[in-house]
Amino acid sequence: MSIWAKVATAVRGGVSEAGEAIVDNQVLRILDQEIRDADNDIGKSKDALTGIIAKRKLADKKVESLKSSLTEYEGYAMQALDKGDETLATEIAEKIAGFETELLAEDGLATSFAGSESQLRKAVSQTEANLKRLKQQVDTVKATEKVQKAQAAVAARHSGAGSSMRSALDSLDKLKNKQAERAARFEAASELAGSTEEVSLDDKLKAAGIVGGGASGGDVLARLKAKRGG
């Protein structure tokens, strides 16, 4: 493979990595936007749920009011019958029939609101739980992405014989070797200086007659006789 082919391959590799980085960033941006949209949708759902709860409560109150009215007018009807007032009892019965018709409608409406409320509560709760998990996963992915980018940067700086870290380590080793060599030279020079000084001092003592050469045979014989005592 020629040098230009290698350069072209390297360029294509760099473009590919850059493209992947763009795609990765876009994925995270899309997820962030989808999370924001989901948050907005949940907010709208909660508003709708609040409205349904309010309507259900009003319907429940209406049902209770109608039931109370029914009980009240049934009592009136019984009193009218006890008095033998058939006409009044019939009028009250028609009123009761109207209450019953209205109660049937309101009770059905309250039941419908209660069903919608239950379903929407479950939907909101499930969506919030899913969104919470999604946020946690996105946070984890973002944190992992940052850590891996930092690791890649460190690896890129410290890998390879031509990296700045390798160059610095090599320079440090060379400096240590130079220092060790200087220390050895200083030690050798010191030893050499000490040896020369000793030789020079012996020569000076001999020249001054303070220190002579080795003892003669006569000196040794005299020393032995003296030691022997005689």
Listed in sequence order, the residues at least 6 apart from 157 whose beta carbon sits closer than 8 Å to its beta carbon are 163, 164, 165
- How many Cβ atoms from other residues are within 10 Å of residue 165's Cβ? 12
Helix or strand run (H / E) with residue 11 = helix 3-82
pLDDT in tens, 35-71: 899 899 889 989 999 999 999 999 999 999 999 999 9
Q: How far is it, in rounded angstroms, from Cα 169 to Cα 173? A: 6
**2-33 b/e with 16+ CB inside 10 Å = b?**
eeeeeeeeeeeeeeeeeeeeeeeeeeeeebee
**Tokens at residue 223, please?**
């020393």
What is the predicted pLDDT for the residue at 190? 75
Q: Are 46 and 131 in contact (CB under 8 A)?
A: no
Contacts 24+ apart (CB under 8 A), 92-96: 96/70
Q: How far is it, in rounded angstroms, from Cα 130 to Cα 11? A: 42
In terms of average pLDDT, the best of 7-16, 78-87, 142-151 is 78-87
Which tops the pLDDT comparison, 4 or 199? Answer: 199
Q: In the block, which residue shows the tokens 């409608």?
A: 105
- Of 132-146, 159-173, 203-217, the poorest mean pLDDT is in 203-217
Listed in sequence order, the residues at least 6 apart from 164 whose beta carbon sits closer than 8 Å to its beta carbon are 157
What's the chain's length in residues?
Answer: 230
What is the predicted pLDDT for the residue at 60? 94
Q: At what angle do helices 164-207 and 86-158 cross, to 10 degrees?
A: 40
- At residue 10 the predicted structure's pLDDT band, cuts being 50, 70 and 90, is very low
Q: How many CA atoms within 13 Å lie on the side-chain side of 148? A: 7
